[in-house]
């Protein structure tokens, strides 16, 4: 390995310190990682701990139904970790409230974390106010109703936070094909229980302070 790697890490650390006191370091991965199985380790995101993204309001001129899945704005931040979900088209998720406002997430894990305790992430809304939940089909990138999706727990594939995640699929056959190649086990939406979410949160977020 080249001696450049340690130098690069020191430069990154200096950039983080220069961003200001109280800033928290979160893993953030660039556009080139969006279509790969493994996120890049080179990109970081500095997010002030007190900053919590607001829900994006519904745009009645968009031509989409008020509770229909929508493209993620490039500047949208994950309501849990502050990352940019638009950079992770194979992982992203969204929660749409009754009034059409939406929160976006970089992966299913963060969606489930938010649903478990919205107040923890500065939300003034309850999960019960949600009108629609969507996750991305890991295979082809289309939006799926999260309630009908099939999730894979315990595969060798790492998510945007460089830890275990819940890649989603439209049906059991697609999920089983993924499992045959990458390991893991299949879960339905209602099988993603609190203990599962807690384990994934601890694996992905404890060292990021949320």
Instruction: Examine the pLDDT at 190 and tell me if it is beyond 90.
Output: yes
pLDDT, one tens digit per residue, over 130-173 is 999 999 999 999 999 999 999 999 999 999 988 899 999 999 99
Mean pLDDT over 204-209 rounds to 58
Q: Is 111 helix (H, G, I), strand (E, B) or coil?
A: helix
Residue 125: predicted pLDDT: 82
Residue-level pLDDT at 76: 93
Q: Poorest-confidence range of 44-48, 98-102, 115-119, 148-152? A: 44-48
∠62-66-71 over CA atoms, to 5°?
Answer: 50
Q: Give the pLDDT confidence score for residue 51 in this predicted structure.
A: 60
Average pLDDT over residues 107-119: 92
pLDDT at site 120: 87
pLDDT recorded at residue 31: 34
| pLDDT confidence of residue 22 | 32
What dihedral do alpha carbons 64, 55, 169, 191 form, nearest 10°? Answer: -130
Q: What pLDDT, on a 0 to 100 scale, did the predictor assign at position 146?
A: 98
In tens, the pLDDT along 68-106 reads 999 999 999 999 988 999 999 999 999 999 999 999 999
Residue with tokens 């295979």: 139
Partner residues linked to 168 by β-bridges:
137, 151
Interacting residues of 157 by C-beta distance below 8 A, sequence separation 6+: 37, 38, 165, 167, 182
């Amino acid at each position: 390995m080249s001696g450049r790697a340690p130098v690069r890490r020191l430069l990154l650390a200096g950039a983080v310190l220069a961003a200001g006191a109280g800033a928290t370091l979160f893993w953030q991965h660039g556009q080139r990682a969006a279509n790969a199985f493994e996120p890049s380790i080179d990109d970081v995101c500095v997010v002030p701990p007190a900053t919590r993204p607001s829900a994006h309001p519904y745009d009645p001129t968009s031509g989409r139904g008020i509770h229909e899945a929508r493209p993620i704005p490039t500047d949208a931040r994950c309501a849990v970790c502050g990352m940019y979900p638009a950079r992770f088209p194979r992982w992203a998720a969204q929660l749409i409230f009754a009034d059409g406002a939406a929160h976006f997430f970089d992966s299913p894990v963060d969606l489930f974390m938010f649903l478990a305790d919205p107040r923890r992430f500065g939300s003034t809304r309850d999960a019960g106010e949600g009108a629609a939940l969507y996750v991305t089909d890991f295979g082809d990138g289309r939006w799926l109703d999260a309630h009908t999706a099939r999730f894979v727990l315990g595969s060798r594939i790492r998510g945007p936070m460089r830890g275990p995640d819940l890649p989603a699929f439209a049906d059991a056959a697609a999920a089983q094909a993924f499992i045959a190649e990458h390991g893991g086990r299949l879960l339905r939406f209602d099988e993603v229980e609190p203990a599962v979410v807690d384990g994934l949160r601890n694996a992905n977020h404890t060292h990021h302070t949320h």
